[in-house]
Amino acid sequence: DAGVTQSPTHLIKTRGQQVTLRCSPKSGHDTVSWYQQALGQGPQFIFQYYEEEERQRGNFPDRFSGHQFPNYSSELNVNALLLGDSALYLCASSFGGQGEETQYFGPGTRLLVL
Amino acid sequence: KQEVTQIPAALSVPEGENLVLNCSFTDSAIYNLQWFRQDPGKGLTSLLLIQSSQREQTSGRLNASLDKSSGRSTLYIAASQPGDSATYLCAVRPTNTNAGKSTFGDGTTLTVKP
C-alpha cells in the first residue's frame, strides 16, 4: 500500500516564474491538504481539497491555487514566485469524514526560488 | 486565533535518558492533538494522536498526554536512543474543522548522543 507520494522532490525556479507541485494521496483517502514549511518552522496550512473543490484555505495569497482530480490526486500551483516562497511543501491526505482520522504526510517537495 | 508553542526549541540528552517534550496551545477548544516526527529535509511521520476526550496515548517507548484545561500536551520518550534524534512537532486540530486545518508548533529538535 503506497503512502502519500509527491513530485518532484526538489525544484529550483527564479523569481516571477510559475510552479506546479503534485501529490497522490494514500490509498483510500479522498482529502488532500497542502502545507508550506519554512526552514526552522512548523508547517503552515495553505488549503484543502475534497470532492475536487477547495474546502478550506489558510492565510495565503491568490498566487497559491490548487486542483484535485477525480482520482483524488492534487496539484499545487504557485504563480509569480517570490524569494519568500522557498520552502518545503508538504501534502497530507486523510479521509473526508468527521471521524477520528489522522493525517498522513508525503515526503515533501523542496522549492528554491532564486 | 490558535497559537501553538513548543519549548525548548532544541534539546540534547545522553543515550538512555527519559525525556519530556512540551507543547502548549492557547485555545482549549480542540478536536485532537497529534505528535509528529520529522527527520531533516523529510516529511512528517505521525507518532500519536490524542482525541480531546482522552488523557493519554501510548505507543512503545512513547507516551503522550493531554490536558485541555491548561492547554498543554507532553510527549514522554523513555530510554532514548540515537535513532530518536529528530524534530518533534505537535499539531492541534480545531473543533469545528476537519483534519486538514491543523495548527503546528515550530517543533523541538532532539539530539540523543551515544
Q: How confident is the model at residue B100 (pLDDT cuts 50, 70, 90)?
A: low
Residues 6-35 of B with CB under 8 A from A: 32, 34
**Contact: A56, B102; criterion CB under 8 Å:** no
Chain-wide mean pLDDT for chain A? 92
Mean pLDDT of A44-71: 93
Q: One-letter amino acid identity for A61? A: P
**Contact: B106, A104; criterion CB under 8 Å:** no
- Integer Cα distance of A57 and A61 in angstroms: 10
**Contact: A55, B100; criterion CB under 8 Å:** yes
Instruction: Evaluate whether A6 touches A104 at the Cβ level (below 8 Å).
Output: no
- The residues, any chain, with a CB within 8 Å of residue B34's CB and separated by 6 or more, are A102, A103, B46, B47, B48, B49, B50, B90, B91, B93, B102
Query: What pLDDT shows up at residue A1?
Result: 63
The set of cell numbers assigned to A23 is 501529490
Mean pLDDT of B37-60: 93
Mean pLDDT of B49-71: 95
Q: How confident is the model at residue A98 (pLDDT cuts 50, 70, 90)?
A: low
Q: How confident is the model at residue B31 (pLDDT cuts 50, 70, 90)?
A: confident
Mean pLDDT of A93-98: 74
| Chain B residues with CB-CB distance to A43 below 8 A | 44, 89, 91, 104
**Contact: B101, A44; criterion CB under 8 Å:** no
Across the interface, of B49, B89, B100, the residue whose CB is closest to A92 is B100
Query: What pLDDT shows up at residue B101?
Result: 79
